Amino acid sequence: MSETLRTILSAWDGKDTGELEDLFEGERSNPVFLQALIGLCEIVDCQRGATWLLKHHFDLKGAPLPEDLTRQHLGSLSTITHWEAKLHVLQYFERLQLALVPQKELERFVKSGTRSDNKFVRAWAYYDLAVLALAYPELTSQVRNILTAARDIETAGSVRVRIRKALEKLGE
């Protein structure tokens, strides 16, 4: 399954999701499907498709990842290089069991997103700072300061909206 999946994901153009949706429907009940996707997230030419499929899984209210897969996925965030793959992960970030990996690894990934040239990656990264602060309350003050400063300097509307939602998440 992994080789076929790798072939499909590496050939995906990043636009037409029909083939990925069909693939998901055909494989969603396969017990090794999520495991294969997590492994393929670590392969550069498969990242966009694999993370899109994981996002699709969560968008359809799929079950949380098992602890071992969560650890593997969160532990390999530094290997995710494509901006779309980063965006997908940031969009389902709050659906992951964050406490299973060291806080610093998660912080590095999310904070790097706040410096992205891509406004959507930045927007979701700011939002996920609030998600991190809820998981690790000792970050709350620092995150609140980052979000407040970003709100004052960000010009992109989509980023400002996510910052506002992040601050609301923190109770502001």
Instruction: Label residue 47 left, alpha or beta by phi (over 0 means left) and psi (-120 to 50 means alpha).
Output: alpha
Longest dimension (CA), the chain: 48
pLDDT at site 47 = 96
User: How many angstroms separate the CA atoms of 77 and 162, rounded?
Assistant: 22
Look at residue 84 and tell me whether its pLDDT is greater than 80: yes
Per domain, the residue ranges of the chain are 1-99, 102-172
**Cut 0.85: pTM above it:** yes
User: How many angstroms separate the CA atoms of 140 and 171, rounded?
Assistant: 11
Sequence-ordered list of residues with C-beta below 8 angstroms from that of 92, at least 6 positions apart, any chain: 54, 55, 58, 59
The residue with tokens 């790798």 is 6
- 134-162 pLDDT tens trace: 999 999 999 999 999 999 999 999 999 99
